[in-house]
Amino acid sequence: MNPQSQSTIRDVAREARVSVATVSRVLNDPQRVRLKTREKVLKAMDHCHYVYNALAGSLSARKTTMLGVVVPTITNPIFARVTKGIQDYAAQNGYSILLGNTDYNEENELHLINLFQEKRIDGVIFNGPWRSAPLILRMKSTNLPFVITWQKVKDKDVNFVAFDNFRSAYHSVEYLIGLGHRRIGMIAGKFSISERALLRWKAYRKCLGDYDLPYEPRYVLEKGYSFSEGEEAMAYLLDLPSRPSAVFCGNDILAIGAIVEAKKKGLRIPEDLSITGFDNMEISAFYDPPLTTVAVPAYEMGRMAAKILIENLRGESSKPQQYMLEAQLIVRGSTARIQKKQPAFGARPSAESKLAVWLSDDR
Amino acid sequence: MNPQSQSTIRDVAREARVSVATVSRVLNDPQRVRLKTREKVLKAMDHCHYVYNALAGSLSARKTTMLGVVVPTITNPIFARVTKGIQDYAAQNGYSILLGNTDYNEENELHLINLFQEKRIDGVIFNGPWRSAPLILRMKSTNLPFVITWQKVKDKDVNFVAFDNFRSAYHSVEYLIGLGHRRIGMIAGKFSISERALLRWKAYRKCLGDYDLPYEPRYVLEKGYSFSEGEEAMAYLLDLPSRPSAVFCGNDILAIGAIVEAKKKGLRIPEDLSITGFDNMEISAFYDPPLTTVAVPAYEMGRMAAKILIENLRGESSKPQQYMLEAQLIVRGSTARIQKKQPAFGARPSAESKLAVWLSDDR
DNA sequence: TTGAAAGCGCTACCAT
DNA sequence: ATGGTAGCGCTTTCAA
């Protein structure tokens, strides 16, 4: 006898002089067993140092109480936050999390889906940029329940919990316009990688148009989400003959990089240059200057997604759930009314949001 | 027939007119099957839309290729980084990660260990603060291989990959002294939660002593790792009758909080006050001023830990592995030579590290 | 309330 | 090189 080998319900059953079925019952539904026998079994269990084998259990019960979670990279605080939201709700409900990073690579995503299938995960939550069609199709073909965060999806039957990217972005730009800025640049994320980035750019462009401001392609830079790319982008913008007086950044990381570069060039933020971010990372409130940004409800999206998924798994709700959470513009110190006396700006619509009301991610 | 039900190797075997044993072989060790039959089987597999059931496989093979990873909270960038290191190495070697947050709560840790046992995880990696004795004992009793990061451990037979907390902290303080500071405060982490915090404090105290500087208890604050607690601590220090001219912070988050508060009070960093951090978060290089801090090899520790664990699982190395990685003091803009003309500071040992050489975490 | 027994889908040993 | 088959440890009817 291998002294290391764990004991099984069979051993426990023998020890307690009951059947394995009974042991199984005290494990899964203690009520169904007479108190007396239950205690006998419990005692036998710790006499045998019994440890439940979830593998065997899952195999026969056909569920694992494990959720797959895919993020681009756990290293980005904003994704750590969704993950935490998922994790917290899941743990409270007896589910564990299998974590997968894609590193923004679609192939990895496919691998993960495969892995999840093999591991017989109960359901999966996708976070972050999402090139809809093909992957969603692939997911559907697996018959695994899943929910998507960050971004809405056309399909009427796909679960998601997102926020209105377009609208939040629109608000940011509108706010900048309201401060009197008319040369507004944008440091965007990569459109090819992140549909969110694209959406934010569309909002930027639309807002400019709505206020009769010209769209200047050279004011728009497409960059990866890193501090140094934010610096590069800003360096470029500052070299432009008539540089923007405000820059709308695709996320806080880019915004901070941009600020670093601007300061390096001797500009004061926000007096000489206004900058806005997106995400509201924890650090953003403590940066110098504190960042004006859009607070994305990352943790809440995670929690919500886990909730939807788990309720779905429990059969508590079968129809698709689609939620849009509120994202909020947080005005802090990195933006200010334009200083330079340039031709007074004749904004036609008032600075108050107006169009934004009926606008949405769809365009 | 349930159209949803997945097909099994049995179905594949039937379709390919071979035995299940053969199918299993092409799954696990394709070489052992003649090319011809292998192809037949492969074809049958995708004819049946076969998806391997890892649950069944693991149950009978007695291994899951899953690693448990426990962190205090994935939300702290520094722990996200270890996790990424683990994840990357693990994924490259066919292992997946089951993620558990403890929220700095020992009870949760115990629950996780239990969970891991039930799920028949192959091994586990513990990251972060670690109250040695009881939990290590508990882990040993599970017979699960495990490795600890961040912190060394007395046991000769416990795997760990850490760095020298004491020494790095000592260096930071010594560096400050070398800049002429003699009133040096410390904003430390909670000693009861994090042994690292304690170690750093011991180093601080030792270094002061070695340079004949008085230890002032009122200069030392014990705080949780949050920006706002950094602010509080600094507010307190600045109100002191003779405030410190330099503050050594237990991590970058506290340091940034401290800087925010100091600036708020009108102090210039580093001219009026020097501040150092610990961890070298990504943001730290891009903060204003860029933070002088200790670069902790978080990612590398994670990778290394995964490597040790996996090699151990593969039986490639059975004896305990204990590594100390290098942590490095990164001098940036938040520290400067002391300005105020106070009695010239007669540091006895030169500012060059001297004692630190033979010092270690042990005291 | 409890027991007997047939799987769950795969691996691995023993044969051939 | 391939096949037969006995488990792995649990859940879940069906009976008693």
Q: Is the CB of B18 under 7 A from strand D?
A: yes
Instruction: Report the candidate in B194, B246, B167 with the shortest Cα–Cα distance to residue B78.
Output: B194
Domain positions in chain B = 9-52, 64-164+298-325, 165-296+328-359
- A98-114: per-residue pLDDT in tens? 999 999 888 999 999 99
The reply to whether B165-296+328-359 shares the fold of B9-52 is: no
Q: Which amino acid is at A32?
A: R
Q: Residue B48's CB: how many other CB atoms inside 10 A?
A: 18
pLDDT digits (tens, 9 = 90+) for A308-359: 999 999 988 779 999 999 899 999 999 999 975 544 444 444 433 333 333 3
The pLDDT of residue B132 is 65
Q: Report the CATH architecture of A9-52.
A: Orthogonal Bundle (1.10)
Q: How distant is C1' of C11 from CA of A289, in Å?
A: 62
Closest among B197, B190, B134, B150 to B305, alpha carbons compared: B150
- When CB atoms are compared, the residue of B59, B75, B96 closest to A81 is B75
> Residue B355: which residues within 8 A CB-CB, separation 6 or more?
B170, B207, B210, B349
Per DSSP, the residues of B21-60 read HHHHHHHH-GGGS-HHHHHHHHHHHHHTT----HHHHHHH
Q: pLDDT tens, A156-205?
A: 999 999 999 999 999 999 999 999 999 999 999 999 888 889 999 999 99
Strand C reaches within 7 A of the B59 CB: yes
Q: How far is CA A241 from the centre of its chain?
A: 38
Is the domain B165-296+328-359 a CATH 3.40.50.2300 member? yes
> pLDDT digit string (tens) for A227-270?
999 999 999 999 999 999 999 999 999 999 999 999 999 999 99
CB within 8 Å of chain B, chain A residues 188-227: 227
Q: For residue A341, what pLDDT is reported? A: 52
Phi-psi region of B278 (alpha: psi -120 to 50; beta: other; left: phi over 0): beta
Residue type, B303: R
Q: On chain C, which bases lie within 7 A of the protein's CB atoms?
A: 1-5, 7-13
Provide the whole-model pTM: 0.90
Q: Name the pLDDT band for B2 (thresholds 50, 70, 90).
A: very low
CATH 3.40.50.2300 for the A64-164+298-325 domain, yes or no: yes
Establish whether the linkage from the previous residue to B289 is cis, with ω within 30° of 0: yes
Dihedral pair phi/psi, residue B90, rounded to 5°:
-60, -50
What band does A88 get if pLDDT is binned at 50, 70 and 90? Answer: very high
pLDDT at B33: 93
Average pLDDT, integer, range B121-131: 88
Per-residue pLDDT at B346: 42
Best residue in B5, B104, B144, B283 for a mutation probing chain A (most A CBs within 10 Å): B283
User: Is A83 part of the contact surface with chain B (CB cutoff 8 Å)?
Assistant: yes
Cα–Cα dist A67/A317, whole Å: 18
Euclidean distance between CA atoms B176 and B195, whole angstroms = 23
